[in-house]
Amino acid sequence: MSTTDYPVDMSVQPEVTAFFDAATNTISYVVKDPASSACAVVDSVMDIDYAAGRITYDHADQIIRFIQNNGLTLEWLIETHVHADHLSAAPYIQSKLGGKLGIGDKITVVQDTFGKIFNEGTEFQRDGSQFDCLFADGDTYTIGSMTAFAMYTPGHTPACMVHVIGNAAFVGDTLFMPDGGSARADFPGGDAGVLYDSIQKVLALPDDMRLFMCHDYGPDGRDIRWETTVGEEKAHNIHVGGGKTKEEFVKFRTERDAQLDMPKLIIPSLQVNMRAGQLPPADESGKRFLKVPLNGL
Ligand SMILES: [Fe+2]
């Protein structure tokens, strides 16, 4: 779809509350309909002490308390993509508050790739059935009186979607803040050229569209920030702003990615997030384990 085909409605102004997770530099959001009590949660975080193999829910509990204390109704849990740097808490939040869990329909590609890398058995379905809803490009859904839509933005991963809710777009890892640039494109199924094209789709949204990041690392010691606009990104993004060409971007991105270490939590994150945030099934002892594929990534 071209950007003009998407049902953009800048007159709808959702109330956005951010929850920053300092352990993974992830920002989760509660997005509320100003005309009702309906809300959605975008990209929640489950806490893990990987060295200890310990899972906790402090970050998710903050979000749950916020929703309960404000008398909100959770209608959707949105994952912008299968994250490689933090574990999703979507099923935990869903078990407490309800709502439908959605991700892009190309999750099946991601499940196929990582199902092989982690040598999952046939009990691991590669059809996206762990989610309640699989979005195709341009699909719409409602949060109270608001109409939201999903925009297909592959490149960082094959299943990335930007979710646009009124005048607010949740970009996942398609873009970082202007001084942060863009996310890596070297995970299995990633592609720097495809990412450039997806970023152009986001930058073709209205200039005053609010953009909400999934990550911020506070480059050069600045305070953590997560909100910008299309206009700001177009003018100032250090990787794609000011009219940088696809060739320039691909060259830069490829050289940079070759120097990056794997994210600390990539191994637990993929195994949990490809299952929609569920932990791997218990073995015959009743215990759950994560695998570490040696030289597999
Ligand atoms: Fe990511």
Q: What is the mean pLDDT of each run of 10 residues along the chain (297 residues)?
A: 87 98 98 98 98 97 98 98 97 98 97 95 94 98 98 97 98 97 94 98 97 97 98 97 95 96 95 96 95 92
Amino acid at site 130: Q
Sequence length of the chain is 297
Structure confidence at residue 296 (pLDDT): 87
Could you report how far apart the first and last alpha carbons of the chain are, in Å? 33
Give the CA distances from residue 115 to residues 104, 109, 144, 242, in Å, rounded to whole numbers and listed in that order: 17, 10, 36, 40
Structure confidence at residue 265 (pLDDT): 96
- Beta-strand pair 133-135/100-104: parallel
> How many angstroms separate the alpha carbon of residue 247 from the centre of ligand 1?
23
> Is the dihedral angle over the CA atoms 92, 71, 171, 129 positive or is it negative?
positive
> How many angstroms separate the alpha carbon of residue 137 from the centre of ligand 1?
19
> How many angstroms separate the alpha carbon of residue 184 from the centre of ligand 1?
8
Q: Are 280 and 267 in contact (CB under 8 A)?
A: no
> How many angstroms separate the alpha carbon of residue 88 from the centre of ligand 1?
11
Backbone angles phi, psi at 267, to 5 degrees: -70, -50
The structure's pTM equals 0.97
Give the CA distances from residue 163 to residues 36, 109, 156, 249, 297, in Å, rounded to whole numbers and listed in that order: 20, 20, 15, 24, 29
> How many angstroms separate the alpha carbon of residue 86 from the centre of ligand 1?
9
> How many angstroms separate the alpha carbon of residue 277 from the centre of ligand 1?
14
> How many angstroms separate the alpha carbon of residue 39 from the centre of ligand 1?
23
> How many angstroms separate the alpha carbon of residue 19 from the centre of ligand 1?
17
Tokens of 168: 């607010």
Structure confidence at residue 1 (pLDDT): 75
Count other C-beta atoms under 10 Å from residue 139's C-beta.
17
User: What is the C-alpha to C-alpha distance for residues 134 and 104, in angstroms, rounded to an integer?
Assistant: 5
Q: Are 80 and 213 in contact (CB under 8 A)?
A: no
> How many angstroms separate the alpha carbon of residue 205 from the centre of ligand 1?
21
> How many angstroms separate the alpha carbon of residue 71 from the centre of ligand 1?
31
> How many angstroms separate the alpha carbon of residue 115 from the centre of ligand 1?
18
- Beta-strand pair 73-78/133-135: unpaired
Who contacts 39 (Cβ-Cβ below 8 Å, separation ≥6)? 30, 31, 32, 33, 67, 72, 73, 74, 75, 143, 144
> How many angstroms separate the alpha carbon of residue 174 from the centre of ligand 1?
8
Tokens of 119: 């040598």
Backbone angles phi, psi at 202, to 5 degrees: -65, -40
Structure confidence at residue 13 (pLDDT): 98
User: What is the C-alpha to C-alpha distance for residues 93 and 66, in angstroms, rounded to an integer?
Assistant: 12
> How many angstroms separate the alpha carbon of residue 36 from the centre of ligand 1?
31
Structure confidence at residue 2 (pLDDT): 73
